[in-house]
Chains A and B, each alone.
Chain A
Amino acid sequence: GAGVSQTPSNKVTEKGKYVELRCDPISGHTALYWYRQSLGQGPEFLIYFQGTGAADDSGLPNDRFFAVRPEGSVSTLKIQRTERGDSAVYLCASSPRTGGLGANVLTFGAGSRLTVL
């Protein structure tokens, strides 16, 4: 597609429930990133994929968070047993490749706002 698409745009759930957030990157972009942005804060890195594999998942806060990208395109961020502290905007971004000399620019989606009641 023309841009990075994220669904749903808004999700309200109850504490303890399971949530999936989807990201559809720009066609042909091999690198895909997930970030979390809490109110009044900058985006916090969670995980990134190069192709199908997670090249760096050091930002995932705990084992309730998991992400997949089985075919190297669409990615799903999965959150188990949601907690109120998980409430944030989850941002997805893609780029033609990962960082390096002349690093490529990340293009961000509009985000999925998650509210855990």
Chain B
Amino acid sequence: GNSVTQMEGPVTLSEEAFLTINCTYTATGYPSLFWYVQYPGEGLQLLLKATKADDKGSNKGFEATYRKETTSFHLEKGSVQVSDSAVYFCALISNQAGTALIFGKGTTLSVSS
């Protein structure tokens, strides 16, 4: 079945450090891939998405590239801020009609000044 595997956290960084959160997936067909973010006390929000191989999703300085050959969708940011502290979820949805969004377990990022 479809599944998503994320690197385990927590990830602790200093402000302006480079961030990578690894995500790999298993899916039949050609899924669409997403990163969602959950800030403290808030609901899940879409951060970025990519719907086909080699697409790059980007938002708020975060980027992720859909790599079909390595079945990966790693999240990166060149310079993190304290306000980026949150839980990040990688997710996929199959291109087969009638399937649901599947999430990874989440990675907690903590950025200190």
Tell whether A pairs with B.
Answer: yes
The answer on a CB contact under 8 Å between A98 and B46 is: no
CA distance A2 to B102 in the complex (A): 25
Quick check: which of A21-29, A62-70, A80-88, A107-115 contacts chain B, the rest being far away?
A: A107-115
Q: What are 13 A-to-B residue pairs whose CB atoms are below 8 Å?
A: A33-B100, A33-B101, A42-B104, A43-B103, A44-B103, A56-B98, A99-B32, A99-B100, A101-B51, A105-B46, A106-B46, A108-B45, A109-B43
Query: CB within 8 A of B94: which of A42, A50, A99?
Result: A99
A37 to chain B, nearest CB (A): 9
A to B contact number (C-beta, < 8 Å): 69
Cβ contacts under 8 Å, B105 to chain A: 40-42
Given A59-B100, A101-B95, 4 more pairs with CB closer than 8 A: A56-B98, A93-B44, A103-B95, A106-B46
Which residues of B approach A to under 8 Å, CB–CB?
4, 32, 34, 36, 42-46, 49, 51, 89, 93-106
